[in-house]
Chains A and B, each alone.
Chain A
Amino acid sequence: MKKKIVAMLLAGGQGSRLGILTSHMAKPAVPFGGKYRIIDFPLSNCVNSDIDTVGVLTQYRPLALNAYLGTGQHWDLDRNAGGVFVLPPYMTEKDGRWYSGTANAIWQNREFIDQYEAEYVLILSGDHIYKMDYHKMLKFHIENNAAATIAVFRVPLSEAHRFGIMNADEHNNITSFEEKPKNPKSGNASMGIYIFNWKLLRKYMQEDDLDPNSENDFGKNIIPNMLNAGERMMAYPFDGYWKDVGTITSLWEANMDMLGNPPVLDLNDPNWKIYTHNLALPPHYIDKTAKVSDSLITEGSVVRGEVVHSVLFAGTHEDANSSISDSVVFPNTFVGKNCKITKAIIGENAVIGDNCIVGGPLREGETVDNRLTDDITLIGNDVTIPAGTYIPLGAVVNAETLHLYTKEA
Chain B
Amino acid sequence: MIQDTFALIYTGDSNPLLRELTLSRSVAAVPFGGRYRCIDFMLSNLVNSGVDNIGMIMQKNYHSLMDHIGSGKEWDLNRKHDGLFILPPFMTKDNAGVFRGDIEAIHSVLTYVRRSSQKYVLFTGSHTIFNTTFDDMFKQHVDTGADITIMYNNDPVFSAEDQNRDLRLIMREDGRVMEMEWNPYRPRTNARSCDVMIMDKKLLEYLIEEAYARGDSDLTRDILQRLCGTLKFYGWRYDGYVARLDSINTYYKHSMEMLNVTYARDLYNHEHPIFTKVKDELPAKYGPKANVTNSMLADGCIIEGSVSDSILFRGVTIAEDAKITNSILLQGVSVGAGAVLDHVILDKDVTIRPGRSLIGYDNFPIVLKKGQTV
Contacts and interface: CB of A to CB of B under 8 A. Distances in A.
B290 A292 contact: yes
B286 A295 contact: yes
Given A261-B288, A268-B302, A298-B299, A285 B264 contact: yes
Contact of A299 (B280, B289, B299, B302): B299
A52 to B, nearest CB: 17
B121 to A, nearest CB: 27
A401 to B, nearest CB: 30
A280 B292 contact: no
B294 A34 contact: no
B194 interface: no
A297 B283 contact: yes
B284 interface: yes
B321 to A, nearest CB: 14
B280 A278 contact: yes
A275 B278 CA distance: 10
B74 A280 contact: yes
A283 B293 contact: no
B233 interface: no
Interface of A: 33-35, 73, 259, 261, 267-268, 273-276, 278, 280-299, 307, 311-313
Contact of B293 (A280, A288, A298, A313): A288
B283 A296 contact: yes
Contacts of B291: 291, 293
A298 B281 CA distance: 10
B97 interface: no
A294 B288 contact: yes
B99 interface: no
20 contacts: A35-B282, A35-B283, A73-B73, A280-B278, A283-B299, A284-B297, A284-B298, A285-B295, A286-B292, A287-B294, A288-B293, A288-B294, A294-B286, A294-B287, A296-B286, A297-B283, A297-B297, A298-B284, A299-B299, A307-B286
B287 A282 contact: no
B286 A283 contact: no
A268 B283 CA distance: 10
Interface stretch (B11-19, B212-220, B269-277, B355-363): B269-277
Nearest to A34: B283
Given A261-B304, A298-B283, A299-B283, 19 more contacts: A35-B282, A278-B278, A280-B273, A280-B278, A282-B296, A283-B297, A283-B312, A285-B295, A285-B296, A286-B292, A287-B294, A288-B294, A291-B291, A292-B286, A293-B288, A294-B290, A296-B283, A298-B299, A307-B286
A170 B280 CA distance: 41
Contacts of A33: 283
A278 B300 CA distance: 13
Interface in B244-289: 259, 261, 264, 268, 273-276, 278-280, 282-289
Contacts of B296: 282-286
A276 B295 CA distance: 26
A286 B295 contact: yes
A282 B264 contact: yes
Contacts of B74: 280
A73 B34 CA distance: 25
A285 B74 CA distance: 23
A292 B268 CA distance: 23
B168 interface: no
B35 A292 contact: no
A267 B281 CA distance: 9
Contact of B299 (A35, A73, A290): A35
Nearest to A261: B287
B131 to A, nearest CB: 11
B365 interface: no
Contacts of A35: 282-283, 299
B125 interface: no
A73 B74 CA distance: 11
B33 interface: yes
A246 to B, nearest CB: 23
A338 B261 CA distance: 21
Interface string B122-158: 0000000000000000000000000000000000000
Contact of A293 (B34, B259, B286): B286
Contact of B294 (A73, A275, A286, A307): A286
Nearest to A266: B282
B42 to A, nearest CB: 15
Nearest to B299: A299
A218 B258 CA distance: 55
B298 A299 contact: yes
A296 B285 contact: yes
Contacts of B264: 282, 285
Nearest to B275: A280
Nearest to A33: B283
A276 to B, nearest CB: 7
A286 to B, nearest CB: 5
A299 B292 CA distance: 15
A290 B304 CA distance: 16
Contacts of B313: 283
Contacts of B282: 34-35, 267-268, 296
Given A278-B278, A297-B297, A290 B292 contact: yes
A34 B280 CA distance: 12
A276 B278 CA distance: 10
Given A284-B296, A285-B264, A297 B284 contact: yes
B273 A292 contact: no
Contacts of B283: 33-35, 296-299, 311-313
Given A35-B283, A294-B288, A282 B293 contact: no
A283 B279 CA distance: 13
Contacts of A283: 33-35, 296-299, 311-313
Nearest to B33: A282
A290 B35 contact: no
A358 B280 CA distance: 32
B309 to A, nearest CB: 9
Contacts of B278: 278, 280
Contacts of A296: 282-286
Contact of A297 (B73, B286, B287, B311): B286
